[in-house]
């Protein structure tokens, strides 16, 4: 800790932090433009200048480390004058004719900084040069005329998204934000995460869907959780007149700390599916709108005789995107109430069944995604993390330039290969042999951190090479990389878990123990899961493979999920099909009864992400009156069946051992 004085106030600050950060901690706001708490300091805009006793000139506080005995002033007349001058220069450099800008009037950090300095005008001729406007991107526009060259976008693209698409071209007044080698954004390597737009302090990067839809002060902001995948990113829903105008990353989000991917930020804004607005019943072969009472009555009458029939009554399948509350009710109603033996989820436990078996014996063995922030080596096995869990992928990609090593194990080409130091292409399904081979190399070379006995290491290595097709050199190299890493992380996905082989997961766990990649702050073992609530589905034992064994009816609680052709074909074989869904699909077409329900943003509920965080998603908008909540529909059916529901999802969630610790 160091002692310093800011504006006459005695302050204690941690060594190594900046004066800007120390001031903020002490409640002293220093104006900034280019600084951002998630980005490395850059010292570009100079707005955060302060006077330091003993220094000849004012100095930027965002890049100045604190030191003992410093005496600092942030609000002198001379500083105010300098800041006005800096802002005047920024305003006059390009076209900041605010009335034409969508963020003018509250949402622009540049304009707000000027108001803060009580500026009414600037005394310089504005620049009349025309800078390029890039409107080639599907989701946002880059108008260089409004750019203040703060480089937040450039830093965010590299340091947060790990994509390094944005850069600066030219010099001096001609400096421009460009993509790649100055290609249109829409044709660039951009992966459409929108992080650059979220950090831009001016109207230079603006979002297409929310442009000119109103200022932040006329919007309601609701903190929630993305239901796009099992990463569980924190989001902010920006809502006006019962409509989501924009989705932003929540800087306080436990997992993502502000970053989102395309699926979280933009997909929900471009929903193309058709909503179902009324209960439907098949009459004369045609789905016909009916009242809720008629639809629910018909379902209850048809299902009543099937209660208590374990194997030839009812089969039920739920989406793993449903909130925990609805999922728990689903399980209670159909598994406990109806006593059906075929109650499962659309994932069929593909991402969880094998790890849960290992957890039954070992308890929780997985770490948190945060370990990726400190890892110096990642071994990725059978997980397409750059595509299927993008924000987790960002955490890996952005650390690579800082020296993190990456080994990717995937029989097929995957997005991750282009970033990997080593790509292993083992034969499909040969992972157990491959992992055992790595263990054997580490044991043979005495690189292990925990004791492991392997009777004949050379035999195991030879068998590994033979089964996997990976050369002994590559096997040895990767095993050494892993064993020599200080903070190794092993990450695996459906390429492993879909093999439904408990021994394989156990072998990975043993490898993790051998190299010290278990359960610590800096190293760990992580498996990526499926949809937003796959962990919860596993806890409710909705993890068996779906099969119709003479069941006479199927109840499919799909919610707002997509359904594949494969699933539709299997479900459509049922003599009677009830579909609880928000959107029209080939599945609802085949249903006898369709019950229209809310989507993710229209209901409050909890999600358990891949590393065990139990997070609450908030309702942001109201659904049409004819639409009911997922859990309400299930509760109504339970009532009509006289099956009491306790609704204690917290208890059920913790009843089964899990591979992740809940928090």
Ligand X SMILES: Nc1nc2c(c(=O)[nH]1)N[C@H]1C(S)=C(S)[C@@H](COP(=O)(O)OP(=O)(O)OC[C@H]3O[C@@H](n4cnc5c(=O)[nH]c(N)nc54)[C@H](O)[C@@H]3O)O[C@H]1N2
> What number of chain residues touch ligand X (CB under 6 A)?
35
Work out whether 506 is an interface residue with ligand X (CB under 6 A).
Answer: no
Which residues bind to ligand SF4, rule: CB under 6 A?
A: 147-153, 156-157, 161, 163, 165-166, 177, 190-196, 199-202, 204-205, 226, 228-229, 231-233, 256, 260-261, 263-264, 389-391
Work out whether 659 is an interface residue with ligand X (CB under 6 A).
Answer: no
User: Which residue lies nearer to ligand X by CB, 351 or 464?
Assistant: 351
Query: At closest approach, how far in Å is the CB of 417 from ligand SF4?
Result: 19
Which of the residues 344 through 363 are near Mo ion (CB under 5 A)? 347
Query: At closest approach, how far in Å is the CB of 42 from ligand X?
Result: 32
Collapsing DSSP states into helix, strand and coil, what is residue 410?
Answer: coil
User: Which residue lies nearer to ligand SF4 by CB, 157 or 594?
Assistant: 157
524: partner contacted, choices Mo ion, ligand SF4, ligand X, none (Cβ within 5-8 A by kind): none
Helices (H), 485-559: 494-497, 502-515, 534-539
Strands 422-424, 405-409: pairing kind: parallel
Query: At closest approach, how far in Å is the CB of 353 from ligand SF4?
Result: 22
Work out whether 495 is an interface residue with ligand X (CB under 6 A).
Answer: yes
Extract the tokens encoding 491.
């990450």
Give the DSSP letter of residue 97: -
With beta carbons less than 8 A apart as the criterion, state whether 550 and 342 touch. no
User: Which residue lies nearer to ligand X by CB, 22 or 346?
Assistant: 346
Work out whether 530 is an interface residue with ligand X (CB under 6 A).
Answer: yes
> What number of chain residues touch Mo ion (CB under 5 A)?
2
Q: For residue 183, how far is the Cα from the chain centroid? A: 28
Query: At closest approach, how far in Å is the CB of 449 from ligand X?
Result: 24
**588-619: buried (b, 16+ CB within 10 Å) or exposed (e) per residue?**
bebbbbbbbbbbbbbbebbbbbbbbbbbebeb
Site string for ligand X, 42-81 (x = CB under 6 A): ----------------------------------------
8 vs 10: CA distance, rounded Å: 7
Query: At closest approach, how far in Å is the CB of 380 from ligand X?
Result: 9
User: Which residue lies nearer to ligand SF4 by CB, 35 or 638?
Assistant: 35
Work out whether 192 is an interface residue with ligand X (CB under 6 A).
Answer: no
User: Which residue lies nearer to ligand X by CB, 350 or 536?
Assistant: 350
Q: Which of 530, 559, 596, 605 binds Mo ion (CB under 5 A)?
A: 530
652 burial (CB, 10 Å; 0-12 / 13-18 / 19+) is buried
Q: Of the listed pieces 36-44, 429-437, 523-531, 604-612, which binds Mo ion according to CB under 5 A?
A: 523-531
87: partner contacted, choices Mo ion, ligand X, ligand SF4, none (Cβ within 5-8 A by kind): none
Work out whether 431 is an interface residue with ligand X (CB under 6 A).
Answer: yes
CA-to-CA dists, residue 528 to 104, 253, 368, 380, 384, angstroms? 42, 18, 11, 10, 9
With beta carbons less than 8 A apart as the criterion, state whether 23 and 74 touch. yes
CA angle 294, 300, 301 (to 5 degrees): 85
**183-211: buried (b, 16+ CB within 10 Å) or exposed (e) per residue?**
ebbeebebbbbbbbbbbbbbbbbbbeebe
351 vs 274: CA distance, rounded Å: 29
Work out whether 437 is an interface residue with ligand X (CB under 6 A).
Answer: no
382: partner contacted, choices ligand X, ligand SF4, Mo ion, none (Cβ within 5-8 A by kind): ligand X
If you write DSSP's letter for every residue of 182-201 in order, what string do you get?
A: TB-GGGSS-----HHHHH-S
Work out whether 382 is an interface residue with Mo ion (CB under 5 A).
Answer: no
Residues in the chain: 663
518 vs 402: CA distance, rounded Å: 23
Q: Which of 85, 419, 562, 662 binds ligand X (CB under 6 A)?
A: 562
286 vs 193: CA distance, rounded Å: 42
CB hemisphere CA count around 650 (13 angstroms): 3
Strands 593-596, 577-581: pairing kind: parallel
Query: At closest approach, how far in Å is the CB of 262 from ligand X?
Result: 8
Work out whether 411 is an interface residue with ligand X (CB under 6 A).
Answer: yes
Work out whether 346 is an interface residue with ligand X (CB under 6 A).
Answer: yes
Residues that bind ligand X (CB under 6 A): 229, 263, 267, 346-348, 350-351, 381-385, 387-389, 409-412, 414, 428-429, 431, 493-495, 498, 528, 530-531, 562-564, 567
Residues that bind Mo ion (CB under 5 A): 347, 530
């Amino acid at each position: 800790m160091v002692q310093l004085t800011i504006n006459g106030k005695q302050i204690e600050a941690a060594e190594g932090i900046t004066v800007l950060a120390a001031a903020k901690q002490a409640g002293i706001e220093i104006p900034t433009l280019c600084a951002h708490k998630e980005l490395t300091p850059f010292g570009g805009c100079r707005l955060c200048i302060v006077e330091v006793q003993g220094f000849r000139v004012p100095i930027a506080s965002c890049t100045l480390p604190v030191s003992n005995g410093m005496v600092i002033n942030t609000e002198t007349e001379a500083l105010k004058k300098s800041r006005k001058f800096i802002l005047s220069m920024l305003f006059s450099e390009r076209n900041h004719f605010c009335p034409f800008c969508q963020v003018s009037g509250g949402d622009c950090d540049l304009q707000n900084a000027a108001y803060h300095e009580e500026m009414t005008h600037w005394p310089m001729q504005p620049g009349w040069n025309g800078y390029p406007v890039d409107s080639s991107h599907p989701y946002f526009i880059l108008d260089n005329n409004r750019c203040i060259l703060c480089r937040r976008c450039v830093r965010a693209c590299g340091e947060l998204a790990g994509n390094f698409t944005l850069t600066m071209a030219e010099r001096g007044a001609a400096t421009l934000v460009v993509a790649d080698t100055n290609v249109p954004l829409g044709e660039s390597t951009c992966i459409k995460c929108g992080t650059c737009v979220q950090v831009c302090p001016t109207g230079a990067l603006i979002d297409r869907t929310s442009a000119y839809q109103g200022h932040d002060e006329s919007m309601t902001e609701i903190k929630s959780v993305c239901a796009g995948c099992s990463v569980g990113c924190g989001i902010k829903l920006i809502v006006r007149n019962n409509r989501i105008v924009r989705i932003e990353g929540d800087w306080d989000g436990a997992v993502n700390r502000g970053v989102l991917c395309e699926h979280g930020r933009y997909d929900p804004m471009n929903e193309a599916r058709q909503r179902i607005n009324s209960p439907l019943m098949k009459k004369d072969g045609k789905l016909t709108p009916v009242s809720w009472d008629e639809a629910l009555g018909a379902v209850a009458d048809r299902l009543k005789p099937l209660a208590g029939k374990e194997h030839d009554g009812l089969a039920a399948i739920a989406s793993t995107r449903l909130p925990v509350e609805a999922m728990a009710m689903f399980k209670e109603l159909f598994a406990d109430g109806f006593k059906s033996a075929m109650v499962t989820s659309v994932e069929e436990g593909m991402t969880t069944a094998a790890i849960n078996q290992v957890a039954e014996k070992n308890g929780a063995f997985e770490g948190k995604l945060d370990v990726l922030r400190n890892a110096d080596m990642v071994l990725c096995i059978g997980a397409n993390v750059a595509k299927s869990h993008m924000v987790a992928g960002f955490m890996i990609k952005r650390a690579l330039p800082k020296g993190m090593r990456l080994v990717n194990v995937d029989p097929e080409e995957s997005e991750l290969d282009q970033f990997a130091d080593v790509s292993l292409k083992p034969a499909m399904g040969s992972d157990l042999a491959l992992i055992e081979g790595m263990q054997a190399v580490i044991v043979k070379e005495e690189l292990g951190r925990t004791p492991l006995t392997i009777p004949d290491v050379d035999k195991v290595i030879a068998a590994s090479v033979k089964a996997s097709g990976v050369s002994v050199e590559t096997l040895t190299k990767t095993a050494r990389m892993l064993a020599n890493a200080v903070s190794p992380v092993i990450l695996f996905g459906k390429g492993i878990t879909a093999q439904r082989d408990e021994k394989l997961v156990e072998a990975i766990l043993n490898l993790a123990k051998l190299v010290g990649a278990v359960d610590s702050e800096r190293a760990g073992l992580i498996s990526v899961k499926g949809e937003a609530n796959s962990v919860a589905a596993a806890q409710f034992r909705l993890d068996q493979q779906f099969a119709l064994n003479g069941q006479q009816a199927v109840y499919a609680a799909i919610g707002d999920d997509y359904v594949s052709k494969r699933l539709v074909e299997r479900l459509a074989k049922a003599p009677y099909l009830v579909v609880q869904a928000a959107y029209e699909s080939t599945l609802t077409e085949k249903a006898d009864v369709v019950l229209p329900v809310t989507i993710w943003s229209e209901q409050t509920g909890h999600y358990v992400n891949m590393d065990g965080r139990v997070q609450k998603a908030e309702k942001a908008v109201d659904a049409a009156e004819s639409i009911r909540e997922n859990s309400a529909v299930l509760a109504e059916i339970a009532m009509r069946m006289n099956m009491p529901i306790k609704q204690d999802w917290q208890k059920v969630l913790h009843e089964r051992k899990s591979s992740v610790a809940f928090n």
